[in-house]
Structure 1
């Protein structure tokens, strides 16, 4: 299989997608992975076996386009030697259209996934490659041809390298300019961290306009400005992570958005795209702080809020949360109300109603099912809470989107 490990490496480098080498028993023996699939979606052992079985039943020049219930798409081709099937090479996951809120809602409801995973899935799917049907056909053709033919190591030929003469005065000027630029960059980073930690989008816009040239720096690797710009944008992603953590965001939310942008940065095709991506990244980290920050709360209230967000679909009560946090229920209730201005139950219901709205807008899942999905065990209670918070019944709210 050494021959196919080389082929997998080439395919991974060219397509920028995950590539797996699967043996005839359906086990992955070699993997090159950029997208770490969220744990809530992981259960693919049987799928690899199913893909192998489909390829085994068809001609050696066939490739298999496969989509699972999570909307993850793959392309696979069989490994054949002397008409004997030895396994397969699988490229993916990718998606064939840009996911929206409705797409994520459908994935959650169709697969009965916990609604508390929405944020993680919101970050995961947009980071996947979006492949058109024409591109997937080309990838299939490429994969079949690479699997059928024996790998031949290539030989690199290069032109002579001409080294330009160094001008000492010019070098001194460059060093002085670099010193000024580096100092300016660090000032920019400090301002950026402070703005993101507060979730201040207006300040982000002002800083970005003020420091326009710092968003796509191409002088660190002169022969490859796009590589240099990607490197500095990856650094900015790390800076944003630090800022969001300082802003009081739980690490699980920071991890998913950071991983998404690391992938998108590497996939950026040119400098203008990378610059726009940098601005989007700053804004999304601000949104993260605005929605999930617990910076202004005491330690006990922070832990309670994080627990609620991560277990929204479960049966949540004051006593259960207090027991999990090893605190007195009455003390937690008083602290929570004093700091958030709402009771724990009202806060839980508010978050559940926000999630329910996203599913009701789709109109493809029953109200009863949605109520249970978001953590309500009583349909009548769900309807009363929903109307109290929106002035509409769930049915009336749904009709607005039909």
Structure 2
């Protein structure tokens, strides 16, 4: 397969590299993490000025109408520089869920593209990653809807201004019928937002909803297919992030083994070390190829569930293998906060779980393959 970025896509990729070098230089990483939400808001405003936030939003809703390949160009750089800005969650997943959802969605998406607000998707409950396995109820209340239930993990939800909550209007747990999407502001009455930070520096949340007033997105009770397609687009984004991260970890390791001396010679000259580096390089190439194929397929014919699921499983395996080996080749110092390879490993561990773990996607692959 021949794959190359167009001139415009390469310019976008280069702009992400410049931003990453300025804002997320490895030597300043701990300082950036210590800035907390204030630093995140400053960088988010810069990303809005560069047009990145509006890129995945359709032109009809005030965005730039960028596709999966353009998103891939951005996400590679986000992964390479380990940016904690929640681009995949807020700018890829949320607009895909809200597309064509009504005038109120178009207004919010325009604000999202301008960097004025952030929107996070609350889809996961304690029954696993299947978006149909939900118990949160959406009950009619006069002319509106009220939500009651719990969402145990909202990806990058700690700093969101709005939540896209999946809830059941009818049917039993596991049924794809009767699932709706609803918009809830972060300060809504009856909403308890519990924020926490994960090992990779990203800020997530869990939600408890007690009769929270909400606004429907799209056709009530028919959101299952919308969620599947949106999740696949978000998965492609994190695959590109994973590729950028593992390639950066490999590059850092190559620099290290060329300079680290043992027995009077650089450890990179040892055959055992060279074999490990070859394995890491092959894993990076395999992950890149899978990501390119899945992204190109989605861009041309929308989602191929089996292909996306297979890519999610295998790219995650490659990312973990590469970054674990990077830490090992650095020795004990590889586990330290000060060395960037340890941060790449932590991010790969979280990316493995983002939008479905290996068990969920293996089952999804089997289901899609034998339909």
TM-score by length of 2: 0.30
Bigger relative contact order, structure 1 or 2 (CA pairs below 8 A, ≥6 apart): 2
TM-score by length of 1: 0.28
Report which of the two has the higher share of helix.
1
Report which of the two has the higher share of strand.
2
Q: Which has the larger radius of gyration?
A: 1
